[in-house]
Amino acid sequence: MSGISPRDIRGLGATDIAAALRRRELTSVEVTQAYLEAIGAGNAGLGAYLTVDEQEALAQAREVDARRAKGEELGPYAGVPVAVKDNISTRGLRTTCASRILENYVPPYDATVVARLRQSGLVVLGKTNMDEFAMGSSGENSAFFPARNPWDPSRVPGGSSSGSAVAVAASLAPWALGSDTGGSVRQPASFCGLVGVKPTYGRVSRYGLVAFASSLDQIGTLTHDAAEAAALMGIISGYDPADSTSVPEPAPDYPALLGREIRGLRVGVVREGFGEGVEPGVQEALRRALDVLAGLGAVMGEVSLSMTTYALPAYYVIAPAEASSNLARYDGVRYGLRASNRSVTDMYGRTRQAGFGPEVKRRIMLGTYALSAGYYDAYYKKAQQIRTLIKNEFSSALQSYDVLVTPTAPSVAFRLGEKAADPVQMYYQDYFTIPVNMAGLPAVSVPCGFSGGLPVGMQLIGRWFDEAGLLAIAHAYLETTGWHRFRPEPAVSVAGEAR
């Protein structure tokens, strides 16, 4: 037995936990237990997890410990726990997408990323809260309960990967997987003071990720620092024959590339990032971050991405169009909820009426409209043309620069309820992140300080498949500034509002 207290275990972080496990100073059961206890104490107030898989997690941990005791060769992170967003399929473990329509859905198979986690010996603690079907930017669209920001529980953690960000920020998991269609890993990372990676489209298999907008969806990582991000990316990345959009190339050794030289790198500061609508506190934190990058020897320049303004409206045609098609399968026949047995059409109607929340219905209606005869050319085709222009603009900017920088989000975490009544206000949260998905590029949100006591995130955008370059800059920047070392006070549950 280790003598390391549960609180100290959670303070170590994924990399140090892995090292302690390898040195046999800790067992996976001790580590898993420490997190399960923390979840038991903290989850009611923060709403990070929808499902905690206590028994299975401990069984996995015991198995890793037994194999280590036998001297078996294990992966470097074997025995380290992880949290998984609830739109990523887990065999035998409820996967709800935070929707009533999938409330009792138990997948018969693991998503490829989950299979990879298990092959590496990681212990899945449970499934995290989110905006229903990953539609939202605050976590408030969960059909069950909202997650709360551990830095200030009266504020949202961002979304849609709300619970994954909360779990990591509040040390209810060492690290977590999320999904990012328009910013859903990066914006919550920014609001919770974490590193959030949105990989290049095709880098990580989408097999088993419940589809929202298939041409934009990508699974990504939420961690405290860049080294952990590199490690977790290494585990989940790579070709998968089960996903025809995954690229048939092995992923590079991310952790080995973290030390890449920053001196001489050309950094393009995106002018629009300092435009109207970006909070002054966010702009200030970002300016200081740019000074640090210059101090590390990066060659700074300025670039305009004028197409950025069109990305949001084009996304809100393309993403709902794909969603309206992807979500047609929830009809009461094959999955989850069935609300009537009277006739087929009655069953479809009632099931979807009762099973989907308001934002999901809004998207289905928008998407169906955009795809309908007569409107297709005016909306969907136009949006696809804009998408090409966005891609071209990035492509030429990334010829002059190795990396582009924007704020991740225009603001710090806002209050629960503050934007819930105005969907367009909510959509503006993704102003800087959506263009990246439209182009299929990789991007990382990196903590870059605080404004009014709340974390600010800087977005680094790189060339296609250059996640390694982005992680190297993030690593050098964080080692210099130490912004990733701050932790919220153990969050107090909000009086009267614990579920």
Least distance from ligand GLN to the Cβ atom of residue 309, Å? 17
Assess 135 for contact with ligand GLN (CB under 6 A).
Answer: yes
Nearer to ligand GLN, 18 or 438 (CB): 438
By CB under 6 A, residue 170 contacts ligand GLN: no
Smaller CB separation from ligand GLN, 212 or 310: 212
222 lies in the site for ligand GLN, by CB under 6 A: no
**Looking at 135-143, 201-209, 228-236, 332-340, which segment touches ligand GLN (CB under 6 A)?**
135-143
Spell out, one character per residue from 27 to 56, where the chain touches ligand GLN: x when CB under 6 A holds, - when not. Answer: ------------------------------
Choices 131-139, 149-157, 367-375, 440-448; region in contact with ligand GLN by CB under 6 A: 131-139
Q: Is 157 in the site for ligand GLN (CB under 6 A)?
A: no
**How many alpha carbons fall within 13 Å on the CB side of residue 69?**
10
Phi and psi, residue 105, nearest 5°: -85, 125
Q: Please, are residues 169 and 163 in contact by the beta-carbon 8 Å criterion?
A: no
> Any catalytic annotation for residue 184?
yes
Closer residue to ligand GLN in complex, CB, 181/308: 181
Q: How far is the CB of 210 from ligand GLN (least distance, A)?
A: 11
Check residue 455 for interaction with ligand GLN (CB under 6 A): no
Q: Are 319 and 443 in contact (CB under 8 A)?
A: no
Binding to ligand GLN by residue 180, rule CB under 6 A?
yes
The backbone region for 440, taken as left when phi is positive above 0, alpha when psi lies in -120 to 50, beta otherwise, is: left
* Dihedral-angle region of residue 129 (phi above 0 means left; psi in -120 to 50 means alpha; beta otherwise): beta
Query: Catalytic annotation on 198?
Result: no
Indicate whether 134 belongs to the interface with ligand GLN (CB under 6 A): yes
Site membership for ligand GLN, residue 146 (CB under 6 A): no
Options 33, 60, 112, 137; binder of ligand GLN; rule CB under 6 A = 137
Contact with ligand GLN (CB under 6 A) among 81, 107, 121, 182: 182
Range in contact with ligand GLN (rule: CB under 6 A) among 92-100, 181-189, 378-386, 457-465? 181-189
- CB nearer ligand GLN, residue 180 or residue 272: 180
Q: End-to-end CA distance of the chain: give it in Å, rounded.
A: 35
* 8 Å CB contact between 18 and 77: yes
- Which among 28, 137, 179, 184 is annotated as catalytic? 184
**Binding to ligand GLN in span 83-122, by CB under 6 A:** none
Q: Which residue lies nearer to ligand GLN by CB, 77 or 427? A: 427
Strand boundaries in 116-171, DSSP class E: 123-128
Q: Please give the structure tokens belonging to residue 33.
A: 């237990």
DSSP secondary structure, 261-329, as one string: --TT-EEEEEGGGGSTTS-HHHHHHHHHHHHHHHHTT-EEEEE--TTHHHHHHHHHHHHHHHHHHHGGG
Q: Which of residues 195-214 bind ligand GLN (CB under 6 A)?
A: 212
Q: Which residues pair with 270 in a beta bridge?
A: 303
Choose the binding region for ligand GLN from 28-36, 96-104, 182-190, 450-458 (rule: CB under 6 A).
182-190
Q: Is 445 tagged catalytic?
A: no
Catalytic residue (choose from 160, 161, 171, 246): 160
The active-site residue, picked from 28, 85, 137, 419, is 85
Shortest CB 158 distance to ligand GLN, Å: 9
Among 99, 112, 181, 324, binds ligand GLN (CB under 6 A): 181
Judge whether 477 and 289 are in contact, CB under 8 Å. yes
The yes or no reply on residue 183 touching ligand GLN (CB under 6 A) is yes
123-128 β-sheet, strand order: 49-52, 123-128, 81-85, 176-179, 219-223, 195-198, 443-451, 454-462, 403-407, 266-270, 299-303
Cβ neighbours of 340 (radius 10 Å)? 16
Is 319 an interacting residue with respect to ligand GLN (CB under 6 A)?
A: yes
Q: Of 88, 244, 241, 100, which is closest to residue 178 (Cα–Cα)?
A: 88
Distance of CA 161 to the CA centre of its chain: 5
| CA distances, 301 to each of 200, 281, 294, 298 (Å) | 24, 22, 10, 10
Distance, in Å, from the CA atom of 95 to the CA atom of 74, rounded to the nearest integer, reads 28
Residue 162 touching ligand GLN (CB under 6 A): no
Q: What is the largest CA-CA distance in the chain?
A: 69
Q: Which of 430, 458, 465, 468 binds ligand GLN (CB under 6 A)?
A: 430
Question: Which of 262, 253, 383, 378 is CA-nearest to residue 311?
Answer: 383
- Considering CB under 6 A, how many residues would be counted as binding ligand GLN? 13
Active site residues: 85, 160, 184
Q: Report the interface residues with ligand GLN, using CB under 6 A.
A: 134-137, 160, 180-184, 212, 319, 430
